[in-house]
Amino acid sequence: MLNGTSILGTKRSATTGEGFYGINPATGEQLQPAFFSASAEDVDTAARLADAAFSSYSKLSNSRRAAFLRSIADALLKASREIIERAHLETALPVPRLEGELARTANQLRLFAEVVEEGSWVNARIDTADPERKPLPKPDIRSVLQPLGPVAVFGASNFPLAFSVAGGDSASALAAGCPVVVKAHPAHPGTSELVGTVIRECVATAGLHEGTFSLLFDSGIEVGSRLVQHPLIKAVGFTGSLKAGRALMDLCASRPEPIPCYAEMSSTNPVFVLPGALKEHDKIAADLTASYTLGAGQFCTKPGLVFLPPQDETSGLVEEMRRRAASLPAFTMLTAGIAAQYKRGIAQQTQANGARVVAAPDTIFGTAAALLEADAEDILKNPALTEEIFGPTTLLVRYQSREQMLRIAESLQGHLTATLLGTEEDLAGHQDLIAILERKVGRIIFNGYPTGVEVCHSMVHGGPYPATSESKSTSVGTLAVYRFARPVCYQNIPQPVLPEALRDSNQLGLLRMVNGQISRDAI
């Protein structure tokens, strides 16, 4: 079934060079077949094919583009047994989790299909002419979003389906009208090839240009680095580490023609426990523990920092969290590299940064949950304590006063989320904290947990640097499509030549802004 080579439109790359393998993280077993890193020529071929596909794919009708997205969703579900089996081998993620993730992947594609089919997302704006205006006649001006061009997408290790080959970045770029070149994550190459094959077949069935989709393999960083520097690539979508994300950002910014790089990178997702929450400390301990250890803590939205009121009030909560952490079995991490990085992170926090271990059955040599604590003043002095550690750990910090808590909030760097736990009265009494958090994060949660990111119209899975490279964007939810389009303006262009979205007749039935008023009316 799997052949281990990159997908270049309808062609496959050669099996040259040394192969690399998927690894079963539960057993360390090497999985067949070998995968082969794409060559410089393969990267160039994929980018050229994507560019060649752009002129037709970008002009595809809304209904055909929507049907194409839905066909991928259907085909993924049809191939689910095979995909999930391989994904389970490559990631050791539990099958129910992978089933949920595949359903989410299909739902994302269908939600974007709905957005594309309805069509109004293109922000059509029309200001009609006024030949009588003084001192100068007013021209007819119209604008509409147009796709940017070929997009490079990087598969993420922690979402082998929902943020990999057919994941949110690919779905939103394809929805916007951009061909996609995916760089597969080397931790799940077989899953990537299976999904890539599904998309390639959907491209063929829909009669689209073969360059609409390509998939490149690489065991290292060279292919990705070449890809984002290719002059025909016009935007980048990435989910991964701060180090890799910043490297891509810098590559994109230093190109002769800089391009937007949407990197979702690093977030510790602070949780503020407000005094009223302590009445329910056992429930909060249970829910917080479930959230920071969900998926072995390998979520971008894992709550990795928990701020607690002064000690005497919170001992019940801490004790219960300790008890729960201590009783958890060891986790299987996604890759040996992530496991090693996790252990280094815990060691760094406890040895160099002064965090204390509250519970860690096997912290240094295993991959158990690690519950740490630190003093508020230490956090303020050493912001490294607030940096993300990818894995099942969280850091408890007791603040001594409300003023100190606000100072800590002010000192935070950008995160994807912040969570407040407490009563409605607590919340109403902490508007100052909320105002600070509105500058620090993309999503503020009350009496919930940041893991579990709803895919909907209002979701913001983004946030100020270093959470993402671009706080104005989101990588989850329908707003993600806006990352891959830009407005183009048409002045005095006759009706038949205008994009359909801008014609007087409004046959697409779009919601448009006409002379400042929103309507679906024809002109």
Restricting to residues 184-243, which ones interact with a copy of itself according to CB under 8 A?
Answer: none
Instruction: Give every CB contact of residue 200 below 8 A, 6+ residues apart in sequence.
Output: 7, 9, 10, 213, 215
Identify which of 392, 197, 207, 232 has the alpha carbon closest to the alpha carbon of residue 298. 392
User: Which amino acids are annotated catalytic?
Assistant: 264, 300
Among 485, 501, 506, 508, binds a copy of itself (CB under 8 A): 485
Q: Which amino acid is at 486?
A: R
Q: How far is CA 281 from the centre of its chain?
A: 32
Restricting to residues 423-442, which ones interact with a copy of itself according to CB under 8 A?
Answer: 424, 427-428, 431, 434-435, 438-439, 441-442
Please state, in angstroms and rounded to a whole number, the distance separating the CA atoms of residues 492 and 462.
38
By CB under 8 A, residue 489 contacts a copy of itself = yes
Minimum Å gap between C-beta 127 and a copy of itself is 4
Candidate ranges 72-80, 200-208, 343-351, 456-464; the one touching a copy of itself (CB under 8 A): 456-464
Binding mask 372-391 for a copy of itself (x = CB under 8 A): --------------------
Q: Which is nearer to a copy of itself, 42 or 470 (CB)?
A: 470
**Nearest-5° angle of CA 253, CA 256, CA 257?**
70
Q: Which is nearer to a copy of itself, 27 or 133 (CB)?
A: 133
Binding mask 119-148 for a copy of itself (x = CB under 8 A): -x----xxx-------xx-xx-xxx--x-x
By CB under 8 A, residue 479 contacts a copy of itself = yes
Q: How many residues bind a copy of itself (CB under 8 A)?
A: 78
Tell me the CB-side half-sphere exposure of residue 502, using CA atoms within 13 A. Answer: 28
Q: DSSP code of 122?
A: G
By CB under 8 A, residue 443 contacts a copy of itself = yes
By CB under 8 A, residue 446 contacts a copy of itself = yes
Restricting to residues 158-187, which ones interact with a copy of itself according to CB under 8 A?
Answer: none
Q: Which is nearer to a copy of itself, 306 or 485 (CB)?
A: 485
Q: Which is nearer to a copy of itself, 28 or 131 (CB)?
A: 131
Q: DSSP code of 329?
A: P
* Alpha-helix runs per DSSP H in 294-350: 311-326, 336-347
Minimum Å gap between C-beta 516 and a copy of itself is 6
By CB under 8 A, residue 445 contacts a copy of itself = yes
Looking at the DSSP bridge assignments, the partners of residue 264 are 239, 468
Identify which of 473, 417, 467 has the alpha carbon closest to the alpha carbon of residue 446. 417
Identify which of 298, 387, 291, 292 has the alpha carbon closest to the alpha carbon of residue 335. 298
Q: Which is nearer to a copy of itself, 27 or 446 (CB)?
A: 446
By CB under 8 A, residue 518 contacts a copy of itself = yes
> Is residue 124 a contact partner of residue 502, using CB atoms and an 8 Å limit?
yes
Minimum Å gap between C-beta 411 and a copy of itself is 12
Minimum Å gap between C-beta 329 and a copy of itself is 24
Instruction: Give every CB contact of residue 409 below 8 A, 6+ residues apart in sequence.
Output: 270, 272, 433, 436, 437, 440
Identify which of 307, 315, 321 has the alpha carbon closest to the alpha carbon of residue 398. 307
> Is residue 456 a contact partner of residue 478, using CB atoms and an 8 Å limit?
yes
- Helix, strand, coil percentages in the chain from 3-state DSSP, rounded to 5: 45, 20, 40
Q: Which is nearer to a copy of itself, 292 or 342 (CB)?
A: 292
> Is residue 363 a contact partner of residue 370, using CB atoms and an 8 Å limit?
yes
Among 413, 500, 504, 523, binds a copy of itself (CB under 8 A): 413
Q: Which is nearer to a copy of itself, 209 or 398 (CB)?
A: 209
Minimum Å gap between C-beta 136 and a copy of itself is 7
Restricting to residues 276-335, which ones interact with a copy of itself according to CB under 8 A?
Answer: none
Binding mask 56-95 for a copy of itself (x = CB under 8 A): ---x------------------------------------
Minimum Å gap between C-beta 146 and a copy of itself is 6
Minimum Å gap between C-beta 100 and a copy of itself is 8
Q: Which is nearer to a copy of itself, 347 or 428 (CB)?
A: 428
C-alpha separations of 297 from 187, 330, 477 in Å: 17, 12, 22
Binding mask 236-275 for a copy of itself (x = CB under 8 A): -------------xx--xx--xx-x---------------
Please state, in angstroms and rounded to a whole number, the distance separating the CA atoms of residues 208 and 57.
7
- The helix (run of H) or strand (run of E) holding residue 394 is strand 393-398
